């Protein structure tokens, strides 16, 4: 439960953030999930766009910021309809915190896959069997990020931005770069998926996820790091002009 004291702390941190050299611009935010509900099967979309997620066979656990979801393989996942149905700027950002608990094979963190577009796996950020980041940026063209290895039991902040170019961030650093596999980027009639790699039960995650975001633009490296360092609640308390602007709408006062 979020207390008055925690909101005051968030406000104080936001005020400090407002005086920093930059602030995360939430223009273009499509969906955002803190997983701070702590119970039930709904993950609220705090962007205000109404893309609430449905959690299937997930467990509520402690996350990086507040609560998180544990996905346990099999059919365990979250889905949110409509999130990837529009890509108006021919650009997208997918990001989340994740922690592997077990690693039997490929594991999906965030994905979007529409078979009606001629195949699967248009958008994915995953971890491949050798513990390296693995992604799809617009089409089923698999890319493994060389020279980077994750490990189990450790939280990582994982972001993919696409705007013609592709950047992969791990803990705020660019670890991979490439070219989008499609132009224009596809718009999907199928849900955003979290905790699985292609469809429910296909490359599922055995691990934890926190703070999922989707933007319709490629956020900058500074913005990636602000999101990583501050968390969604504090970052959303500062608008693009650096002014204090707590987003009470969409953030439940009783958390």
C-alpha gyration radius of the chain: 17
DSSP state of 11: H
Q: pLDDT tens across 13-55, in order? A: 444 444 444 568 899 999 999 999 999 999 999 999 999 999 9
Average pLDDT, the chain: 89
- pLDDT tens by residue, 201-234: 999 999 999 999 999 999 999 999 999 999 999 8
Give me the pLDDT at residue 103, please. Answer: 98
Angle at Cα 52 formed by Cα 140 and Cα 136, nearest 5°? Answer: 10
Q: Which domains does the chain have, with CATH numbers?
A: 4-235 (2.60.120.200)
Query: Who wins on pLDDT, 113 or 13?
Result: 113
Phi–psi pair at 138, nearest 5 degrees: 115, -20
pLDDT of amino acid 144:
99
pLDDT in tens, 187-203: 999 999 999 999 999 99
**C-beta separation of 196 from 108 below 8 A:** yes
**Would you say residue 94 has pLDDT above 70?**
yes
Higher per-residue confidence, 1 vs 52: 52
The per-residue pLDDT for 236 is: 87
Q: How far is 217 from 237, CA to CA, in rounded Å?
A: 20
């Amino acid at each position: 439960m979020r207390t008055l004291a925690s909101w005051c702390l968030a406000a104080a941190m936001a005020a400090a953030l407002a005086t920093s050299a930059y602030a995360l611009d939430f223009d273009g935010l499509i969906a955002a999930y803190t997983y701070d509900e702590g119970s039930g099967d709904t993950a609220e979309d705090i962007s205000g766009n109404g893309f609430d997620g449905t959690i299937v066979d997930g467990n509520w656990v402690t996350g990086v910021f507040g609560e998180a979801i544990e996905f346990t393989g099999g059919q365990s996942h979250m889905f949110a309809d409509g999130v990837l149905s529009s890509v108006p700027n021919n650009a997208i950002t997918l990001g989340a915190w994740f922690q592997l608990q077990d690693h039997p094979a490929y594991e999906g963190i965030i994905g979007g896959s529409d078979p009606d577009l001629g195949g699967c796996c248009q958008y994915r950020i995953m971890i491949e069997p050798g513990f390296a980041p693995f992604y799809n940026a617009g089409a089923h063209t698999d890319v493994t990020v060389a020279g980077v290895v994750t490990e189990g039991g450790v939280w990582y902040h994982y972001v993919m931005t696409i705007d013609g170019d592709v950047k992969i961030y791990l803990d705020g650093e660019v670890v991979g770069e490439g070219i989008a596999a499609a132009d224009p980027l596809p718009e999907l009639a199928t849900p955003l998926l979290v905790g699985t790699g292609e469809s429910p039960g296909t490359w599922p995650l055995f691990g934890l996820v926190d703070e999922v975001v989707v933007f319709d633009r490629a956020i900058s490296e500074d913005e990636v790091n602000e999101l990583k360092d501050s968390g969604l609640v504090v970052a959303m308390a500062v608008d693009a002009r650096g002014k204090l602007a707590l987003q009470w709408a969409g953030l439940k006062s009783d958390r």
